[in-house]
Amino acid sequence: MSHTVITSTTTAGRTSGDGALNLGYTRTIPGLLKLGQMLALLVAFLCVRCARGWPSWAVFQYFEVVALWFLMAFLVFFLMHLFRLQAKMPCINWPLTEFFHYSVGTILILIASIVGAVKSGGVSALVAGSVFGFIATFLMAVSLWTSYSVTCGSHQTASSRQPLAGTRSV
């Protein structure tokens, strides 16, 4: 009696002919989080930008700058994952870079949203911008938490590896 073992592999998504485009990333948790962050930051920026009668000019200028800066940063990270560019630039530790941007972005967007909500003066567009800022902060905190496990999680060193039972160490 003979036994046959059949193995098969599947990919996470469709790719272009040369494999340069990773469309499967848009359906992963990190990809969806990045899309949600970019959408929330875009709506927050547009709400504040299109509002009339800012009660505190400096606060909402800060809000606009921070929202637009991290929108562009997350767009760059999204495109890097989409086109698999991090493999072409191995000199940069991309998970650590993203972790740094998420940590700084979470703090700065949270500050901008809190101050924007306090100084909105009842202008509904500014309140909406602050709410979307809080949504973006939450999504960035989730991304920060998930990227922390990838970046700073426990790593096994060569000295802590145990040989498998029944095998010899060389």
Residue 52: pLDDT band by 50, 70, 90 thresholds? confident
96 occurs within a structural domain: yes
Domains identified in the chain, total number: 1
pTM value? 0.76
Domain with 88, as residue range(s), is 31-151
134 occurs within a structural domain: yes
1 occurs within a structural domain: no
Each residue's pLDDT tens digit, 111-168: 999 999 999 988 999 999 999 999 999 999 999 998 877 667 655 555 555 555 555 5
101 occurs within a structural domain: yes
CA triplet 82, 68, 129: central angle to 5 degrees?
115
133 occurs within a structural domain: yes
Task: Give the largest Cα separation in the chain, rounded.
Answer: 83
Each residue's pLDDT tens digit, 4-39: 555 555 555 444 445 678 899 999 999 999 999 999
12 occurs within a structural domain: no
164 occurs within a structural domain: no
